Amino acid sequence: MNRPGMHPLRRAAWVSLISLLVLAVAVAWDNWGDLLAPPKPAPAAAVKATEAQIEQGRYLALAGNCMACHTTRGGAPLAGGRRIDTPFGGVYSSNLTPDPETGLGRWTPQDFWQAMHRGRSASGRLLTPAFPYNHTSVVTRDDSDAIFAWLNTLTPVAQAQPAHTLTWPFGTQPALAVWRSLFFEPSPFKENKAESAEWNRGAYLVQGLGHCAACHSPRNALGATGPVHDLSGGLMPVVNWYAPNLTQDAESGLAITPLSEIVRLLRTGASDTAQTNGPMGEVVQHSLQHLKEADLLAMAIYLQSRAQRATQPAPDAAKLARSSATVSAQVATQGAKVYERQCLQCHGEQGEGLKTAAGEVAYPALAGNRAVLLQDPTNLVQLVLYGGYGPATQGHPRPFGMPPAVLELHDHDIAAVLTHLRTQWGNRAGEVTPLQVNRIRAVQGR
């Protein structure tokens, strides 16, 4: 192969072939090496789950918001079949009920742990990363066994998982193997002994079952997020919502917000300074409102510490000044007119918002509102187009909402009124363009 006189193209071809073979072996070993290892001894007879373990599993499944993905609208709870859209096609969730043919009825606790910790089914098949196994790999074995014990108490539902509709080669086992070798490494939780028990509990919940970085971390071209502790924010693909950077106070406010208010936001979906909508509203609705106060406080402590310790970028005053100065008189006039007609009655003449007689926020203030000032205006466009509805929770059962304007306002109207919000009452943020509005309208209208 290296003899003198070998043609350079042939030599390059041999080098490429050998490189590919080495890569293939490395990927195969990385993903299937554990299956090639000597078989493990047969497990001891299963120990019957206790009531306490089953209840713990039920609670942990709520913390992981398992119902949201593994239940179709109007379908049997946790029987799977819900379509999860990705940039590469559709993925259908699996049946978590103990049906022996289509669910987990023949699985063992070890099989379930393998899925949680390694992203691999009982048969050894590699699971698609729509299931956030990088986060579930954080979960302890005891907690995994508890969730499995609770799932086994559910009524079995015979409902086969539909075939994924991912574009080839995404979804094939070789492609998943390469993806995992590039982007997946199990991350079992390691306690930070320099921190308090509450901080560690919060880190465990945020990084693990809470899988917060699945939304609050930027994704690359192949759909991979950062590490399980990456909370630097990013645009959520397909659903088109921007998950704020939780370590940057200008976006989240976590560094300076009292812990009690952070807990209140997580538990009820609303606080004096923020309200949840879109995907975060669903998380509060189906998961966070059901968690113990101590766990919500632990999460708040962890999140606040991350924000307080992060380097906060200094505002670019020159850029802000330029963005405000570029708004044309026509856009400014149009935005003011739309605001007066559509928004003023609820949000006030000076963007001060409106409170109920009990002092609770009915309609949030727009002046100084972090959601209004985000550099990425995607969430504002979503709210105006499709309405803003906070979650109905036990602590906030009748939230006020905002009607959609998708059929009433044109792109130029929405861009102008959002620009008005972002440049009035001391707000200093960039102009929103009709093109930005149109792109979101076009994607959501597919």
- The predicted-structure confidence for 123-178, as pLDDT tens digits, reads as follows 999 999 999 999 999 999 999 999 999 999 999 999 999 999 999 999 999 999 99
Q: How many residues does the chain have?
A: 446
Tokens matching residue 398: 């009748």
Tally of CB atoms within 10 A around 153: 12
Query: From CA 155, how far away is CA 152, in angstroms rounded?
Result: 8
When pLDDT is cut at 50, 70 and 90, the band that residue 42 belongs to is very low
Tokens matching residue 251: 């976006």
Min mean pLDDT across 48-62, 172-186, 208-222, 304-318 is at 304-318
- Is pLDDT of 41 > 50? no
Tokens matching residue 246: 């939780």
**CA-only gyration radius of the chain, Å:** 25
Would you say 8 and 1 are in contact if contact means Cβ atoms under 8 Å apart? no
- Is pLDDT of 2 > 60? no
Tokens matching residue 229: 């502790």
Tokens matching residue 91: 């993925």
What's at 431, amino acid-wise?
E
- Is pLDDT of 393 > 50? yes
- pLDDT, residue 25, reads 44
Tokens 């590699």 — which residue?
126
Q: How far is CA 124 from CA 104, 115, 212, 312, in A?
A: 14, 9, 27, 44
Query: From CA 161, how far away is CA 90, in angstroms rounded?
Result: 12
Tally of CB atoms within 10 A around 75: 14
Tokens matching residue 284: 């509060």
Express each pLDDT in 234-253 by its tens digit. 999 999 999 999 999 999 99
Tokens matching residue 189: 């939780």
Tokens matching residue 59: 């609670």
- Is pLDDT of 58 > 60? yes
Query: From CA 145, how far away is CA 135, in angstroms rounded?
Result: 16
- pLDDT, residue 316, reads 63
Min mean pLDDT across 35-44, 158-167, 227-236, 264-273 is at 35-44
Express each pLDDT in 84-101 by its tens digit. 999 999 999 999 999 999
Prediction pTM value? 0.90
- pLDDT, residue 313, reads 77
Would you say 262 and 247 are in contact if contact means Cβ atoms under 8 Å apart? no
Query: From CA 287, how far away is CA 63, in angstroms rounded?
Result: 6
Mean pLDDT value of segment 8-33: 51
What's at 253, amino acid-wise?
G
Query: From CA 231, how far away is CA 217, in angstroms rounded?
Result: 5
Mean pLDDT value of segment 16-23: 47
- pLDDT, residue 446, reads 55
Of the candidates 96, 86, 92, the one whose C-alpha atom is nearest the C-alpha of residue 116 is 96
When pLDDT is cut at 50, 70 and 90, the band that residue 17 belongs to is low
Query: From CA 257, how far away is CA 262, in angstroms rounded?
Result: 7
Mean pLDDT value of segment 414-436: 97
Mean pLDDT value of segment 94-116: 98
- pLDDT, residue 359, reads 86
- Is pLDDT of 444 > 90? no
- Is pLDDT of 381 > 60? yes
- pLDDT, residue 20, reads 47
- pLDDT, residue 352, reads 96
Would you say 227 and 218 are in contact if contact means Cβ atoms under 8 Å apart? no
Mean pLDDT value of segment 390-414: 94
- pLDDT, residue 13, reads 53
- pLDDT, residue 315, reads 64
State the sign of the Cα–Cα–Cα–Cα dihedral 182, 183, 185, 191: positive
| Higher per-residue confidence, 24 vs 114 | 114
| Higher per-residue confidence, 357 vs 177 | 177
- pLDDT, residue 312, reads 79
When pLDDT is cut at 50, 70 and 90, the band that residue 4 belongs to is low
DSSP β-ladder status, 354-355 and 234-236 = unpaired
CATH 1.10.760.10 matches 317-444: yes
Express each pLDDT in 286-325 by its tens digit. 999 999 999 999 999 999 999 999 987 766 655 555 555 5
- Is pLDDT of 65 > 60? yes
Q: Would residue 74 be called left, alpha or beta, if left means φ above 0 and alpha means ψ between -120 and 50 degrees?
A: left
